[in-house]
Structure 1
Amino acid sequence: MSEEIRYFNRYSGKMEKEEVYGLGFLRWTYGNPIGKMSLHGLVKRTLFSRWYGKRMDDPESREKVLPFIEQYRLNAAEFADPPESYKTFNEFFYRKLKPGARPIDPNPKAAVFPADGRHMGFQNISEAPGIFVKGALFTLAELFRNEALAAEYKNGSIVLSRLCPVDYHRYHFPISGKAGKTNLIEGPLYSVNPIALRQNIRILCENKRAWTRIESDVFGPVMMFEVGATCVGSFEYTYQPDSQVEKGAEKGYFRFGGSLTITLFKKGRIRLADDLVKHSSDHVELYARMGDTLGEAA
């Protein structure tokens, strides 16, 4: 199994190697026969994530905060609270940032990335199958578990935003509009790291997930998914359903672990950013932060 994950950093203009948190565990569970047995018997189950989540909520877990910041060279200056103030690791993990730490593209025609992370975008979703491993398919019907909704977004545009444990883990609205309620789809909790997705892209259609429709005058109806992962058994929402939201407004946060969001636009409603499309066509993720443009209304 290939361990190296490389992505293109929009800010440095260079290819960079990802430092994978828990690499040994991922290698064992997805590359070792015994590990795969434990994956299907325990790791993917909600019970495991609840157990691990409780560990990260234990006051003793706060001892992991400072070493984590140092090891992954996080910019503590942008945290809303000083590192020493977090009472648990989870409290640090879903930390808030200072106002202005993530400027929102002011262009009314621009949609923005909903989260910090590594992103892939495809102008036509029919180009997306095989993102991480050639020949592996997933369909919108499986993603929604709803044929009618899937038909609405046929040949539309898709952006996948993968958050690593080292990232800021609050997710935000990519556009302004009226945000509906969240619709939960139960499922297991496989990892969404490329090491796992290379083995089975259908994880995106199997994992626990939730979707929200955002009605926009500029982009039409846009769908936003939150996808759970190993150790991320729940999504916490901080917005008011059926209310008007502004682009960049907080929608919610993930607890400890890696996770992923998916943003879907109807056909012909958006022109994705050139660098996002270029690198995605080469099967390379683009690193960008929440608030930066992912594309403009067509």
Structure 2
Amino acid sequence: MHTVPDIRRSSGASMQPKRRLGNWMPQQEEAAVAFRRRLAQAARERGRSEPMTGVVRELQALVEGDSVLRMNLSRAIDEALAAGFETAYANFDELICIVDYLMGYAPPFNATVPVATPLNLVLDWPMCMPSGYAVFRDPAFNAQLRKLLTHWCGFLSGPHSRTHLTTAEPDGWFSERAQHKMQLSDYLCDRTQQHWGFASWNDFFTRRLRDDARPVHEPSNPAVIVNACEASPYDVSEDCQLHDRFWIKAQPYSLREILAGTDRNVVERFVGGSVYQGYLSAFNYHRWHAPVAGTIREAYNVDGTYYSELEREGTDARGLNDSQGYTTATAARAIIVIEADEPALGNIACAFVGMAEVSSCRIAVTPGQHVVKGSELGFFQYGGSTYCLIFEPEVIRSFEPGPPFRDDSPPLKVNSLLAHARP
């Protein structure tokens, strides 16, 4: 058996444990190992009697038909095992069996050891090995991952995904502990119906708030900007550049890369401006709302990576978390640009970034549409997520709260105060 190294993060003279953010995966590697073992066992049992899913066969064919891709992925697995990490699979064939099993997997509720992104946990160590970085940036590999995740999203959008949409302890998402943890009384549902009226897992994941659950902070005050997502603060950056080295450890925001489909003249208006970034928890509300009143000028999706990490963050248990600045320029995302009704605010660019199992960033507005502060803009379907708001120079007076941010910062409520604009 491999021993698990103590992966720690340097902080001045002290060493602090690295943590997986957002409750998407277990904090302790021992719990992650136990989950991988259970998945691998269930996958082997299924594989004896069930044919492989078509989209998984396509991924298998892609890797086996590309000698460089197969070499790098095989080496990444070997490197993870040699480094002492327990993956629960020893080669690509065993990995693809687990991936196939996950195509029909409905996540259970677990307040203490959550595994809301199981594929991320399965890939956790190979993806941050030296050979793994090239694999998870490969365009053809990511295109097939997109098809794979779209297939799983389809399962999670169907009635067979409701296995754990029950009040049963301890795995039910409507169990007493889950109701308390997730504040389910804030959401619309019909408790008299089976599965509380939710048609699928994704229907539950993208559940809607009651009208009075998240009031808009000072809705008529244009100088108040509100949170677009229910997310914990991650970073605030000033003086952002048109092109920057988003691949270095500092991960500055590179506007041309983030706003890949926006006209350069519009992007240049943000040069020298501010960026706020927050990350979402597995247990939180996953719809996006307008931070200001205004007119939608851009609304589009950008294809990108799903599990690519930044080498400079090192081999650790939270690689995607520590690479969140980098993912704004590389990951699959939705971009919405709002021209504020208040001229002093200019344009606000919103980047809703899919991480790990997020295969769907669904936009619910169209260019030319007017939105009031707090209007719904779209939503994430299942998976880990981060987002950022980009402001033109000299717009923001102060963010609330401001940095430094703690890893265990609670999420800021959607529609609550995020920033004050300059007079």
TM range (shorter): 0.7 to 0.9
Partner amino acid for 1:228? Answer: G
* Equivalent in the alignment of 2:376: 250
TM-score (norm 2): 0.59
Partner amino acid for 1:142? Answer: E
Partner amino acid for 2:209? Answer: L
Question: Which runs of 5 or more residues in structure 2 are unaligned?
Answer: 1-6, 9-17, 23-110, 167-171, 310-316
Identity %: 19
Matched pairs, number: 286
Stretch moving more, 134-143 or 206-215: 134-143
Cα shift at 1:112: 0.4
Work out which of the two has the higher radius of gyration on C-alpha atoms and give 1 or 2.
Answer: 2
CA contact (8 A) 1:178 1:245 kept: yes
Q: Secondary structure at the match of 1:54?
A: helix
Cα 1:238/1:25, change in 2 over 3 Å: closer
Higher helix share: 2
Cα 1:271/1:69, change in 2 over 3 Å: farther
Higher strand share: 1
Cα shift at 1:236: 2.2
Cα shift at 1:267: 0.9
Q: Is 2:226 aligned against 1:112?
A: yes
Q: Is 2:340 aligned against 1:228?
A: no
CA contact (8 A) 2:258 2:329 kept: yes
* Equivalent in the alignment of 2:404: 279
Work out which of the residue numbers 143, 146, 159 in structure 2 matches 1:59.
159
Determine which structure has greater relative contact order: mean sequence separation of CA pairs < 8 Å that are 6+ residues apart, divided by chain length: 1
TM-score (norm 1): 0.81
Work out which of the residue numbers 132, 140, 145 in structure 2 matches 1:45.
145
> How far apart, in 2, do the equivalents of 1:246 and 1:25 lie?
37
Cα shift at 1:269: 0.5
> How far apart, in 2, do the equivalents of 1:81 and 1:295 lie?
32
Question: Which runs of 5 or more residues in structure 1 are unaligned?
Answer: 8-16
Please give the per-residue CA displacement for 1:176-204, whole angstroms capped at 9, x wherever unaligned: 11112413322222389953142574222
Please give the per-residue CA displacement for 1:69-106, whole angstroms capped at 9, x wherever unaligned: 54652112111113521121011011111101001101
Q: Is 2:262 aligned against 1:142?
A: no
> How far apart, in 2, do the equivalents of 1:240 and 1:200 lie?
27
Partner amino acid for 1:213? Answer: V
> How far apart, in 2, do the equivalents of 1:210 and 1:89 lie?
22
CA contact (8 A) 1:121 1:157 kept: no
Cα shift at 1:243: 2.0
* Equivalent in the alignment of 2:303: 186
Stretch moving more, 156-165 or 27-36: 27-36
Cα 1:244/1:164, change in 2 over 3 Å: same
Q: Is 2:228 aligned against 1:103?
A: no
* Equivalent in the alignment of 1:164: 281
